Amino acid sequence: MSITPELTAQILRYHHAEHWPVGTISSQLGVHRETIMRVLTQAGVAPNVPAQRASGVTPYMPFIEQTLKQFPSLTASRLHAMVVERGYGGRPDHFRHIIARHRPRPPAEAYLRLRTLPGEQCQCDWGHFGHIQIGQAKRPLMAFVMVLSWSRRIFLRFFLGAHMENFLRGHVQAFESWGSLPRVVLYDNLKSAVLERKGQAIRFNPALLTLAGHYHFEPRPVAPARGNEKGRVERSIRYIRDNFFAARAFSSLDDLNAQADAWVAGAASQRRCPEDTKLSVQEAFEQELPQLRELPATPFSCEELKIVSASKTPYIRFDLNDYSIPHTHVQRSLTVHASLNEVRILDGQQVLATHRRCWDKGAQIEIDAHLDELVQHKRAARVHRDTDRLVHAVPQIQTLLNEAAKRGEPLGRTASQLQELLDVHGRTPMTAAVADALDRGVPHPNAVRLALERQRQQQTPPPLGVALPEHVRERDIAVRPHSLDGYDQLIGNQDDAND
């Protein structure tokens, strides 16, 4: 802590003139005791410090220092167990503080400030910026950052994951954004760049070597534990995190990248260039452009390639979602070619389907024609099954269907109606009815139905004669009605006699 000359004079005055002890000066001025003792020591005054009690660990300090000198990384817990076996009775937490003060520390390493020539080098790395929710999918939000080492020109692009294809896309888009590229690209030892490293023996990722061969740059990993060698990109990521992403609102990944492009072209390019503070980053970039190398005539292809297996349903699974395919290609191995916006499904060189890419989870992306063709195929298969049953029961039905087809009759409906007639009347009557319809030259289900009805009428038995007994036959004799006037006269005469 640095103190003002006025405060230094005040501390000395209270000590010499007022004879205040160190504790009193500290409490009254609000200054730490060690600061007051340092001021008095620098003034040639030995402050009165109360004698400290002897610590219980003091007898063991020679053993502790000797052990730490031989094993500098030995843990405090192990040292505590060793001195406890030798009679120490102190607590482990207090012992850890003692070891922290006496543990030998390696001298701090000094780093040279690395300087590069214009157009010579850029540095590249990923930055993790949390997650983004798209429908049911929670995807990592990763920032691909590449910065030119001399001008500090930044390229920033956000991706949904740090996949190798996105790593390659970041390179291509950065080079296209600058319209050129440097001679060397510097990497940390991330798996997208370095698969394995043993000292100076480095096994690069083959996809990165293919990209480097296309653009003719040198991929160069930094030495292990040498953060200063790629400090420009690390500081750029921290700058992006603090000055661009903090409290940033965006509606989609495309919106976020559009805002990033505007920020890179604006605020990030107007800041002072560390290599030459008289220049802005934009001005330094314009001076560096002539030293950068030209791009090749054709860009590098960064499509994702994946072998997938189609199951019994007309879909393939790719990146958490299902994409439809023609039903004729189920239960096969197919190839997916995917960009950030499009998914193409191929069988060899034949393109089966092209879909928009979906970043959701568990979605079904369909082409209506694929499902319509499957429905028609199922219906045709059902018609074929019905026809096979009919022909097996009544072989002449095949001739009737052929004739019906020549007349343009719908075969599905014809087969369905014939099947209904066969189920009701049976095989033998149906055979005769079909033959009758063919003889009449009318290959239609209605002709077969009429023939079946005529068969039923012809098979109705004639009325039977019944012999009736005599008394029953007499009941059917006609009876001549008689006049009832005589009965009226008899009734009238009887009434007169009573009078």
Question: pLDDT tens-digit profile of 164-185?
Answer: 999 999 999 999 999 999 999 9
Same domain, 357 and 377: no
pLDDT of residue 218: 92
CB crowding 305-323: b at 16 or more within 10 Å, else e: eeebebeeebbbebbebbb
Domain membership of residue 108 (yes or no) is: no
Examine the domain organization and report whether 32 and 66 are in the same domain.
no
Sign of CA dihedral 86, 92, 98, 103: positive
Domain end among 233, 268, 291: 291
- Quick one: pLDDT band at residue 38, thresholds 50, 70, 90? confident
What kind and span of H or E run contains 94? Answer: helix 92-102
Q: What is the pLDDT of residues 290-343, one digit of tens each?
A: 999 999 999 899 999 999 999 888 999 999 999 999 988 898 999 999 999 999
Taking all residues of the chain, what is their mean pLDDT, rounded to a whole number?
Answer: 84
Say whether both 331 and 382 belong to one domain: no
417: left (phi over 0), alpha (psi -120 to 50) or beta: alpha
Which domain, by its residues, includes 165? 121-291
pLDDT in the model for residue 493: 62
CB-based burial label for 233 (10 Å; 0-12, 13-18, 19+): buried
Say whether both 134 and 162 belong to one domain: yes
Does residue 231 form part of some domain? yes
Q: Which of 317, 342, 366 is the last residue of a domain?
A: 366
Residue 98 to residue 102: CA distance in whole angstroms: 7
Same domain for 246 and 206 = yes
Of 98-102, 218-222, 388-392, 406-410, which range is least confident? 388-392
Beta bridge partners of 146: 124, 155
Of 54-63, 125-134, 426-435, the least confident: 54-63
Average pLDDT over residues 187-204: 81
Whether residue 182 is found in the same domain as residue 277: yes
pTM of the model: 0.59
Are 244 and 260 in contact by the 8 Å Cβ rule? The answer is yes
The predicted pLDDT at position 300 comes to 93
Looking at the structure of the chain, the number of domains it has is 5
| 314: in domain | yes
Whether residues 266 and 285 fall in one domain: yes
pLDDT tens for each residue of 460-491 = 665 555 666 766 666 666 666 767 777 677 76
pLDDT, tens digit, for every residue of 107-127?
A: 655 555 567 889 999 999 999
Asked if residue 185 and residue 312 are part of one domain, the reply reads no
Q: Are 158 and 142 in contact (CB under 8 A)?
A: yes
Q: Tens digit of pLDDT for each residue in 43-92?
A: 877 666 555 555 678 888 888 888 888 888 888 888 888 888 888 888 88
Higher pLDDT, 262 or 485: 262
Q: Are residues 247 and 170 in the same domain?
A: yes
326 and 388 fall within a common domain: no
3-state helix, strand, coil in the chain (%, to 5): 45, 20, 35
